[in-house]
Amino acid sequence: MASSTQSSNTIQTSSFQLIKHINSKLISQDNINKIYISFETFKEIPQYINIEAWSIPLIELIKKIVSLYDSNKKNLILIDSINYIPLNQLSKFISDLIINDSITIITTYHTSLPEFEIPYQNLSRYNLLSFISSSIIEILPNDEKSKTLKINKSCKDYRINFIHKRKSGRINSFKFEFINDEFLPFVESIENNNNNEDLLEGLTTFNLKTSSSAKVIKDNLELPYMEAQRLQESSGAIVYQFEKDDDYDEEDPYEDPF
C-alpha cells in the first residue's frame, strides 16, 4: 500500500536530525530506492541529495522524481520541506508521485512559517496533509526547560508524537523521546499530590486536614453500592432486596392493593 508520512516541526524543534537519522538507517538497505528532494539546501550539497528542487517548476520536478523510480525496489521519497509547494497544487503533487503501491513519501511541514495563502477548499496546509497522510510525526520540545534554549541547541533532543492510521480505520498513537540519535519510550512525569492539604494550612480558621485515623476509616469504609459492583464484575447479578409491597400486580383484577 502506498503511503505518505508527514513530519511537523517548529523553528525551535527542527526535524532535521530525525530526517538525517532515517536517511542514515536506509543507506545500508539495498531493497529501498531512496530519493531525497531538497528545497532548503543552498550551500554545500550533501551526496545523499538527489534533486535540488527550490528553482525547478513543479511539473518538471514531478517528472524528475518519477524518472528516478526503480521498479524492482521500494521507492522512498524524502522531502525536506513541503511548505514550498503551493497549497492549491499540494494534493495533486502528492497523488502524481504515488503512482503505485511501492512508493512512500516522508515530508516535513514547518508549522512556524506563516501561511499567506487562502485555505484550499476550506482546508489549511496542515489539515490537508493530516488528512492525506497515513502517519503523522509531531516534533515537540522535550520538556519545559528546553523551551528556553537557543534554537541551535534544541535540535537533537525532543519529544515525538507518532500517529498511524491503519487501513481498518483504527488510529494508533505513540510517544517517544529522541535523545542522542535514539528513540526511547516517553514516560510522563506524575507530580506527587500527597501534600496538597499542607497548602491549605493557615488559610482558614477551621481545620481542613484529614487525620491519619480518619484516612484509615475512609479507606476501609464500604459504601452500599460496593457489593453490587463486586457482583457485577463476577456474575452480572443485580442486588435487590424483595419487600412485600413489591409483590403487587396492577393488572390483576383480583389483587387487593390494601
Give the largest Cα separation in the chain, rounded: 100
The pTM is what?
A: 0.60
Note the pLDDT tens digit of each residue in 89-108.
Answer: 999 999 999 998 889 998 88
For the domain spanning 3-185, the CATH number is 3.40.50.300
Q: Mean pLDDT for the chain? A: 73
Residue that is written with C-alpha cell 500527597 in the block:
194
**Domain coordinates of the chain in residue numbers?**
3-185, 196-246
183: β partners: 178
> Which three three-digit cell numbers place residue 198?
499542607
Nearest to 228 by CA among 218, 220, 238: 238
Note the pLDDT tens digit of each residue in 25-59.
Answer: 777 788 889 898 888 866 565 677 788 888 899 99
Q: What is the pLDDT of residue 138?
A: 84
